[in-house]
A and B are shown apart, each in its own frame.
Chain A
Amino acid sequence: MRAIALTVLSLALLSCTFEVQRLSLRDPRLPIEALRWLADTEDDVAVARARVYDAKKQLARLESYLDRLEDTEVFPKSAGSEAVNVSKAFLYYTEERVELKEMELEGAGIALKLAQDRLTQVRAETAMRYDLAVYEMESIISDVETRKKEVAKIQFDIEEQRATVEKAADTLWVTYGHYVGKGKTTDAFWEFGSKVEG
C-alpha cells in the first residue's frame, strides 16, 4: 500500500513539475499553428536579447564619450564664464544621456525577462493544450503579468528621463548659442568632436 501511495505521489509530482519543459519546433505531436506560435515567441526572446546587446553597446559608447569629455577641456576656461557654463551644460547633458542609456539597458533587460516568461507561458499552454504535460498555470501567468507591470514602469521612467535629457539639451544649446554668439572659439570642441569613441 505504502509503495503504491509513493508511486502515485511521485507520478503526480512528475506530471505537475514546476519546470516547464522546452518544446521542440519539430515536435511531430504539435500542429503547425502551435509550432508557429512557439517559434514566434522564441523569436521574441531573440529580438529582446539583441536589444539588450544593442543597449549595452550604446551605453558603452556613450560612457566612453563621457569619460573623454570629463578629461577634456572642450571649452577653454580662458574664454570666460560663458565657457564654464557651456562646459557644465554639455557635461550635464551627456551625463543625463548616459543615465537614459542605463535605463534603456535596464528596460531591455526586463523586456528580455518578459519575453522569456512569455515563452515559458506559451510552452506550458501548448503542452497542456495538446495533452503533453500538466503545469501550474496560475503562477506562470502571474509571473508574466508582474513582468508586464515592471516593463510598463520602466517605460514610463525612460520617457521621463528622455524628457530630462531633452530639457538638458535645450539648456545646452541655448548656452552654446550665447557662447558662440559672443564669438568665442569652439575649435577645441571640434577637435574633441572629430575623434570617434568606442
Chain B
Amino acid sequence: MHRLKQKAVSHIVRAVLALACCSLFACAHQKPVVQDQLVVEQLRLRITKVRHAVAETRAVISSSRGAPYLPELHMRLAELLSEEARYHYMVAYEREQRSTKALHVPQVRFLKEKAISTYESILTRFPDSTLGDRILFNISHEYRELGEFDKMKGALNKLIKNYPDSAYRGEALLVLGDFYFDKMKFGRSQQYYLDIIKLKQGPLLGLSYYKLAWVDVNVGNCKQALNHFEGAIKAARKAEQEGHKRKKKKRKKLGAQLKGKFAIPEPEEGGHSFAGHKSVDVQREALVDLTYCYAQERKPDKAVKYLKGLAHTREAYVAALSKMANRYALIEQPRGAAEVSRELLRLAPDEEDRLDDARLLHTAVTRMKDYSMVGEDVQLIMKVVRRHLLRPQLKKSAGDLLRNEFELVVRDLATKSHEVLMNKDVKGSAWSKHTVSAEQIALAYRAYLDAVPNSKYKLEVLQNLSDVLMEGKQFLNAGHRYRQVAKLLEKDPPRKDPVSVKGKKEPAVEIDPKVAREQRLKLRFGALYSAVVAYQATLESDATRSHFERASARAGLRNAGGQYLAVGVEDKERAKKIKFAIAQSYYDEGNYLKAIDLLTAVAYEYPVDEQGKAAVHMVLDSYRTINDISGLINVGRRFIATGSPFGQDIKAQVTPIVAAAEQNRLDELSLAASGEQVGGMEVLLAFAERYKDTDLGERAMLSAFIAARAGGNTSQLYSLGEQVIKRFPSSDQVGGVVSTMGRAAASRFEFDLAIRYLEQAASLNSEQRGGLLIAAGELREQLADTKGASRNYRDALRASGEVAARADAAAHLASLIEREEPASSVVKLLRPLCDPPDPEVSSRLGLALLSTGKVDESEEHFRIVVESSIAATPSAQARANYGMAEVMLKMLEDYQAPREIDAIEELIGIVDVVLQSYLAAARQADPVFSQAALARMARAAEIAADKLDNVKLPNELSEEERNLVKTAMSNRAAQLRNDRNDILAECAQRARSSFLLDEAGRACINNTAPVEDPVRFHALSTRVKVKVSGVEAARDRLSKKPDDLEALREVGQAYLDAGDAHGARLVLGRIIEAGGGSDDLNLLGVACYQAGDLMGALDAFRRAKETGSGAAVRNLATICKELGMKKFAQELMEDAPSKGSGRLLKGGGR
C-alpha cells in the first residue's frame, strides 16, 4: 500500500512537471500584437453609448413630468440625438475612405430632424425657458448641416431679433456673415461682421476683423484689409490676454477654496464654446494672410520688422515669413525677398525650403547689388548647406551637387561684393542703399574658407581676404592671412586656369614650369612683404590694442620678414624696410638687448637713410631705457667717432646726447659711490680708469675724490687727490682738490699735512691763494710756528689783490707781530695798508703808533675807526676807543695849565673828556680792552686829582676867590679819588668773576691803577713736536663725523699725553665748539696753560668751574698763586668742591 502510494505520488509529480514544461513552452510562444481599434468601431461604440444616453434621458423625462428642469432634459435629448447623427455621419465618412464630405446618410437626416423637432417642442411647450437662444442656434446649426439654409437663416434671424443680449447673437451673426461670404455677397457679409464688431464680444472680435479683412481682400481693398488684419491680431491678442487673466483669477479662487475643503470647480463664466471657430488661431491666420496685402501696400525693407512686431509665436512668424518670401519672389521684389529670406535662414527650422530661401537670398542680393550684409549672408547660406549635407539620407551625388552649387553661390557673393568695394565709383542698383564694408566681405571670405576648406580657389580667396582685411584696416588678421598665402605658395604650384581675384575668368594659358615657379615666388614674396606691412601697420596704428595682439603682430612680422630675407630678394628697398621693421619689433617689445644689435646693424648698413638715422636714435633710446648709460656712452662715441659712416647731422644730434649721458653716468656713479651702496666707489674708479685719458676720466676721478670725501674715506681721498694732481696737473680743479685735502687733514688734526696741502693749494689756486695762505698761517700760529705763520701772512698779503683780503692778511700779520715784535715793526708793516682806510688795520696801527709816541698820527687812525661809517669789528672798535682814551690821557698828563682861570676850566674839561673816553672804551665788547680801560680810567682819575690839587691859581684872584676856587678844586680832586677807588673795585670785581687776570686785572685786584698801558700780547710757548700714533681709527671716525666727541677726545688726549699741548689745545677747542663738558673745558685749560696761552687757560678753567669742575677751581687757584694772587687763590680753594675729576696743573692738588 505504501509502495503504491509512493508510485502514485511519483506519477503525479511527473505529470505536474510535464504540465509545467508545457505551460513554459506555451509561454515561450510569441505574444500576439494588440492592435488599435478601428475608427469605425470606436464610432459605433460611441453611437451605442449615445443611444443608451438617449434611452436613459427619455426615461428620466417620462418620470419628471412637471419638473422645472424638464426643458433641460429635452434639450439634452435633442443634443444627444444630434450627437448620434454626427457619429453616423462620421461612420459614413470613414467608410467612404474620407473621399468626400457630401454624403447621403438617411440616419443622419432622420436623427437631425428628430433633434429639430425636439428643440421646437421645447420652444412650444416652454416658451419662457431661458434656453431659447441656445435652442434656436442649435436648430440653425442642424438646418445648416441639413443644407436647409433658408430655415437656418430664419432661426438665426429669430435669435438675433428675439435675443439681443444673448451670448449666441454674435455667433449667429458670424454664421450669417460666413453664409453670405461663401455666396460671394460681400456687402451683406461685411454688414454682419460689422454688427459683431459693434457687439465688442471678446472671443469673436478678432475673428470678425479677420473675416472683414478677407472681405476687403476679395473686393480689392488691400489697404483696408491690412488694417483689419492688424485689428484681428490685436483683438485676438487682447482676448487671449483676458482669457489668461480669467484663468489665473479662477485658479486663484480655486486655490483659496481648496485650502479649506474640497470643492467642485464652477463652470467657466460666460464660457461657451463655439464649434468650428474655437480652433481657428486668428493671430496666426491673420499674420500669414496679411502678407499678400503687405507685399502690395507697404515697403519691403520694413517687412521683417513688421511681421516680427505682430507675431505672437515663432511658428506664426516663420509661417508668415515663408509666405512673404514666396510673395516677394513672385512679384520680383529683391529687397523684401532678401530681407525675408535672410530672416528665414536665421530662424526657420531646418527644412528643404531653406535651400530655396538660400537661393532666393543669393538671387535677391545679386540682383540688388547690395552687399552690405554679404558676410552674414554667406554665413547663413553655408550654415544651411552644411546642415543639409549632414543629413544621413542625402546621397553622395546629391551632396556633391549641392556643395558645388553653393560653393559657387557664396564665392559669387563674396567676389562680387569685393568688386563693388574695389570699384567705389560704380553705382549700385536702385535697391542698394547701403555701402559694402570690408568687414562684411572679409566675413564672407572667412565663411567661405571655413565651409570649403579644400577649395581649389583657396589661394585666390585667401589673397582676396587678405586684401580686404587690409582695406578694412584689420591689419593683424591681414598679416596672418598673407602669411597663409605665402605658405600656400611655398608648396603649391600655380594652377593652370587661374581665376582672377575678382571672380572674372581669365583665359587659360599654358605656362612654362620655370616661369610658373618664378611667378609663384614673386607672389610669395609679395605676400610676405604685404604681411610685414600689415603687421607694421598693426603696431603703428592702434596703441590700445591688447598685449596679445601686439605680441602676435611682432611675432608675425619677424616670421614673415625672416622668410622674406631668407632667400634673398633683389628689391633692396623692401629688404631695408623689412630689416628695420624686424629690429623695431624687438624695440617695441622691450627686448632691448636684441633690438640694440639689430638696430645697430640697420644703422651701419643704411647710415644715410631714414631708417638708419631712426635706428641710431632707437639704439640710444634702448640703452637709456635699460638704464645702461655706460653702453649708451660707448655706442654714442662710436657713432660720432671719426671715420664712422654717419653723416654730420646725426653726429650733431648724438653729440649732446652722449655728453648728457656721460654727465648722467658720472652723477649716477658718484651718487652710488658717495652713498651706502657697496662697491659704488670701485665702479666709479673703474669708470675713471676706463676713461683715464679723457675729460670724462678727469671728471670721474674728481667725482670719486668728492665721493671719498663725502664717505669720510680719507686714505682714499689722499690717494685720489694725489692721482688727480699727478694725472691732471693742468686741471683747474687741482687747486680745489688740494685745498680739500688740506681741510680734510685739518679736520683730522693732521696739522703738518694740513699745512702742507694748504700751502700747495695756495700755489695752485691763484684765486684763493690769500685765503689758503691765511688758513695755513693761522694753523702755524696756533702751533707756535710764528715764523712760518708770518711767512704765510706776508705771502698772503702779497697775493691778495683785493683790499679786504689784504686787510685780513694784514690784520693776521699785525696780530702775530704785535705779540712777537716791537711796535715800530707793526707801524712799518701796516702803514702802507691804510689807503684806503680799514678799521682793522687802523685800530692796530693806531695802538702801534701810540706805543711809539706818535700820538697825533695814532689819533687820526682811531678817529677813522670810531667816527667812520665803515663797519668795524667789536675788536677794532674796542681797540680804537681804548686808544683814543689813551691819547686823551697822554694829553692830560702833558697838560701844564698856565695861571689863568680859563686854563683851569680847560683842565677840568680835559679831565672830563679823558674819563668819558675810558668809559666809552670800557663799554666795548672786547673784555681785554674793556678791563684795561677801567684800570686806566682809575689811573686817569688819579692823575686828574693830582693835577687839580696842584693847580696854580692866577695871581689876580682875591684871597676869597682863591679860597673858593681851591676848595672847589679840592672837592673835585677828592671826588676823583673816590671815583678811582670805585672804578678799581668794579674792575677788580670784573677780573675776579671773569678770571681775566692780565696785567690790568691783577692791578685792579691789588687796588693799583696801572701807570702804563697794561695791554700785553703774549706769544705762545714753543711747541714740542711729537708724532701722535694710535688714533687713526678716531681720525677716520672724525672724517665721517667731525663732531664725534668721543673721537675728538681720543685725539685730544693723545696729543696732550704725547706732550703736544698746542695740538691738544686745537683739538680741545674743537671739542668745546662741538658741545664738550666741564672735563673737556678743564683739559682745554691745561692744554692752553701748557701752550703758554694763560688767558685761554683761565677762561677755560673759569667755564669749567661754572659747570662745577673741582679740578678747574684748583687749577685756577694754582695759576692765581703763580701770578702772586695768593689771597684770591685761597678764597677760590675755600669754595672749591670737595669731589671731582680732571687733570690738574703741576702744583695743583686735590
A193–B683 CB distance below 8 A: no
B679–A193 CB distance below 8 A: no
Does A169 make an interface contact (CB < 8 A)? yes
Chain B residues with CB below 8 A from A62, complex form: 593
Min C-beta distance of A15 to chain B, whole Å? 29
Q: Tell which of B331-339, B456-464, B600-608, B839-847 binds the partner.
A: B600-608
Main secondary structure of the interface of B (DSSP, over half): helix
B635–A169 CB distance below 8 A: yes
Q: Tell which of A22-30, A119-127, A179-187 binds the partner.
A: A179-187
A194–B565 CB distance below 8 A: yes
Partner of B562, one of A151, A180, A191: A191
Does A9 make an interface contact (CB < 8 A)? no
A162-B630, A163-B690 known; A190 vs B682 contact (CB < 8 Å): no
A154-B679, A170-B634, A173-B638 known; A160 vs B604 contact (CB < 8 Å): no
Min C-beta distance of A84 to chain B, whole Å? 18
A194–B690 CB distance below 8 A: no
Min C-beta distance of A188 to chain B, whole Å? 8
A195 to B634, alpha carbons, bound, how many Å?
Answer: 27
Partner of A152, one of B565, B568, B594, B678: B678
Min C-beta distance of B493 to chain A, whole Å? 25
A185 to B569, alpha carbons, bound, how many Å?
Answer: 10
A187–B604 CB distance below 8 A: no
Does B687 make an interface contact (CB < 8 A)? yes
Min C-beta distance of B483 to chain A, whole Å? 13
Partner of A151, one of B605, B679, B685: B679
Return the chain B residue nearest A187 by Cβ: B565
Min C-beta distance of A165 to chain B, whole Å? 9
Return the chain A residue nearest B566 by Cβ: A191
Of A62, A158, A180, the most chain B CB neighbours within 10 A belong to A180
Which residues of A in the span 115-157 have a Cβ within 8 Å of any Cβ on B? Answer: 148, 151-156
A32 to B299, alpha carbons, bound, how many Å?
Answer: 81
A4 to B40, alpha carbons, bound, how many Å?
Answer: 120
Chain A residues with CB below 8 A from B566, complex form: 187-188, 191
Return the chain B residue nearest A160 by Cβ: B686
A166-B631, A187-B568 known; A152 vs B562 contact (CB < 8 Å): no
A151-B679, A166-B630, A169-B634 known; A193 vs B601 contact (CB < 8 Å): yes
A148 to B681, alpha carbons, bound, how many Å?
Answer: 12
Does B1092 make an interface contact (CB < 8 A)? no
Chain B residues with CB below 8 A from A191, complex form: 562, 565-566
Partner of A196, one of B565, B575, B591: B591
Which residues of B in the span 540-592 have a Cβ within 8 Å of any Cβ on A? Answer: 555, 558-559, 561-562, 565-568, 575, 578-579, 582-583, 591
Does B220 make an interface contact (CB < 8 A)? no
For the complex, count residues of A whose C-beta is within 8 A of B. 36
A152 to B604, alpha carbons, bound, how many Å?
Answer: 37
Partner of B558, one of A111, A166, A173, A194: A194
Does B72 make an interface contact (CB < 8 A)? no
A156-B685, A170-B638, A173-B638 known; A185 vs B568 contact (CB < 8 Å): yes
A-B CB pair tally, cutoff 8 Å: 97
Chain B residues with CB below 8 A from A153, complex form: 679, 682
Does B598 make an interface contact (CB < 8 A)? yes
Partner of B559, one of A65, A190, A194: A194
A195 to B912, alpha carbons, bound, how many Å?
Answer: 107
Chain A residues with CB below 8 A from B680, complex form: 155
For the complex, count residues of B whose C-beta is within 8 A of A. 40
Main secondary structure of the interface of A (DSSP, over half): helix
A191 to B282, alpha carbons, bound, how many Å?
Answer: 74
Which residues of B in the span 679-722 have a Cβ within 8 Å of any Cβ on A? Answer: 679-683, 685-687, 690
Chain A residues with CB below 8 A from B356, complex form: none
A80 to B963, alpha carbons, bound, how many Å?
Answer: 135
Which residues of B in the span 199-227 have a Cβ within 8 Å of any Cβ on A? Answer: none
A87 to B825, alpha carbons, bound, how many Å?
Answer: 83
Min C-beta distance of B690 to chain A, whole Å? 5
Min C-beta distance of A111 to chain B, whole Å? 8
A32 to B567, alpha carbons, bound, how many Å?
Answer: 68
Does B645 make an interface contact (CB < 8 A)? yes
Return the chain B residue nearest A111 by Cβ: B678
B645–A156 CB distance below 8 A: no
A159–B686 CB distance below 8 A: yes
A102 to B686, alpha carbons, bound, how many Å?
Answer: 19
A181-B645, A193-B594, A195-B558 known; A152 vs B681 contact (CB < 8 Å): yes
A129 to B567, alpha carbons, bound, how many Å?
Answer: 73
Which residues of A in the span 46-64 have a Cβ within 8 Å of any Cβ on B? Answer: 58, 62
Min C-beta distance of A57 to chain B, whole Å? 12
Does A114 make an interface contact (CB < 8 A)? yes
Return the chain A residue nearest B585 by Cβ: A194
A176–B594 CB distance below 8 A: no
A155 to B565, alpha carbons, bound, how many Å?
Answer: 41
Does B767 make an interface contact (CB < 8 A)? no
Chain A residues with CB below 8 A from B405, complex form: none
A194–B561 CB distance below 8 A: yes
Partner of A190, one of B555, B561, B604, B638: B561
Return the chain B residue nearest A184 by Cβ: B605
A154-B679, A194-B582, A195-B558 known; A186 vs B601 contact (CB < 8 Å): yes
A35 to B233, alpha carbons, bound, how many Å?
Answer: 81
Does B597 make an interface contact (CB < 8 A)? yes
A151 to B591, alpha carbons, bound, how many Å?
Answer: 28
CB-CB contacts of B602-639 with A at 8 A, as 1s and 0s?
Answer: 00110000000000000000000000001100110010
Q: List 6 A-B contacts (CB under 8 A).
A: A111-B678, A154-B679, A156-B686, A176-B604, A193-B598, A194-B562
Interface residues of A (CB under 8 A from B): 58, 62, 65, 111, 114, 148, 151-156, 158-160, 162-163, 166, 169-170, 173, 176-177, 180-181, 185-191, 193-196
Q: Using A159-B682, A195-B558 as known contacts, list a sample of 7 further A-B pairs with CB atoms less than 8 Å apart, ordered by residue number in A.
A: A152-B682, A153-B679, A155-B679, A156-B685, A188-B566, A190-B565, A196-B558
